[in-house]
C-alpha cells in the first residue's frame, strides 16, 4: 500500500491518463489493470468501511483525472462505499462500473470473463444514487416490468375518465372546503363498491352519528 491510503497510487503519476478505476481490493485493482490491457490506472481503497477517508486523503490525486470509474464490490457495503466516494467529486467526473455477473473484478478475471468485464467498463454511465432513473432504456425496462393492476371504475364518468379507476396499492386523498360534500362523495363510493363488486371494504367515519 502507498502512504496515501490507496493501493497502487504510487504506480500512476497524477493525471497520467484520462481516467482512473477505483476498486475495493488489491486483487481487484490488479485484475482491472490486467483485463484492460495494462493501459489504464487502477487503484484500490483499503476497505469499504475506510473508502471515504481513503479518497479524502487522496482527493487531489483522484481529482486530477478527468474520469473516476467506481468498480467496487456489487454488494451492500460496496454500493454504500460508492455512494460515499461519489459525493466527494463533481457529478460529471464519476462513472459507475456495474458488475452484473460477479461480485468483483477479480472474479471476472479468474472465471475467464475478461471480455464481459471490458464491456461493462466501457459502457459505464455517470454515477447516480440508487432510485434515480434517467435513461430511456431504464424507463423502458421499468414499464416493461410493470404489471397491470386490476381496477374498479368510479361511479362518476369524468373522474373515471381522468383516473382510470381505483387500483390496489394506491392511496387517495379527498380534500375540499368544509360543507362541499366530501362525506357524500365517500358514501356514494362505498355504496357503489358494495353494490357492484365483491371487494371487502372497511369504513371508519369518525364524525358520523351511531344511527347513521
Considering only 66-75, 123-132, 167-176, 189-198, which range has the smallest mean pLDDT? 123-132
State the Cα–Cα distance between residues 205 and 212, nearest whole angstrom.
10
- Please list the alpha-helical segments (H only) found in the chain: 26-35, 51-57, 59-63, 76-86, 105-110, 114-122, 136-145, 157-163, 182-196
The pLDDT tens digits for 103-112 are 999 999 999 9
The bridge status of strand 42-44 relative to strand 19-23 is: parallel
pTM recorded for the entire structure: 0.63
**Is the pLDDT assigned to residue 205 strictly greater than 90?**
no
The pLDDT tens digits for 176-196 are 998 888 889 999 999 999 999
* 18's grid cell: 484520462
State the Cα–Cα distance between residues 186 and 41, nearest whole angstrom.
65
* 111's grid cell: 472465471
pLDDT-derived band at 131 (thresholds 50, 70, 90) equals low
The pLDDT tens digits for 52-81 are 999 999 999 999 999 999 999 999 999 999
pLDDT, greater one: 51 or 128: 51
State the Cα–Cα distance between residues 166 and 171, nearest whole angstrom.
9
pLDDT, greater one: 108 or 207: 108
State the Cα–Cα distance between residues 43 and 5, nearest whole angstrom.
10
Q: What is the pLDDT of residue 134?
A: 65
Amino acid at each position: 500500500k502507498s502512504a496515501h491510503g490507496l493501493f497502487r497510487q504510487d504506480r500512476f503519476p497524477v493525471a497520467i491518463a484520462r481516467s482512473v478505476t477505483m476498486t475495493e481490493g488489491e486483487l481487484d485493482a490488479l485484475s482491472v489493470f490486467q483485463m484492460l490491457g495494462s493501459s489504464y490506472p487502477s487503484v484500490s481503497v483499503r476497505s469499504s468501511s475506510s473508502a471515504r477517508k481513503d479518497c479524502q486523503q487522496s482527493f487531489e490525486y483522484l481529482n486530477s483525472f478527468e474520469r473516476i470509474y467506481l468498480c467496487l464490490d456489487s454488494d451492500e457495503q460496496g454500493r454504500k462505499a460508492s455512494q460515499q466516494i461519489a459525493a466527494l467529486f463533481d457529478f460529471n467526473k464519476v462513472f459507475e462500473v456495474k458488475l452484473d455477473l460477479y461480485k468483483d473484478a477479480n472474479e471476472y478475471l479468474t472465471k475467464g470473463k475478461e471480455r464481459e468485464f471490458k464491456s461493462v467498463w466501457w459502457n459505464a454511465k455517470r454515477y447516480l444514487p440508487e432510485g434515480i432513473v434517467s435513461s430511456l432504456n431504464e424507463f423502458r425496462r421499468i414499464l416493461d416490468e410493470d404489471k397491470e393492476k386490476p381496477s374498479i371504475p368510479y361511479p362518476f364518468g369524468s373522474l373515471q375518465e381522468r383516473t382510470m379507476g381505483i387500483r390496489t396499492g394506491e392511496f387517495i386523498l379527498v380534500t375540499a372546503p368544509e360543507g362541499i360534500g366530501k362525506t357524500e362523495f365517500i358514501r356514494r363510493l362505498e355504496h357503489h363498491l358494495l353494490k357492484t363488486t365483491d371487494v371487502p371494504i372497511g369504513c371508519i367515519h369518525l364524525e358520523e352519528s351511531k344511527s347513521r
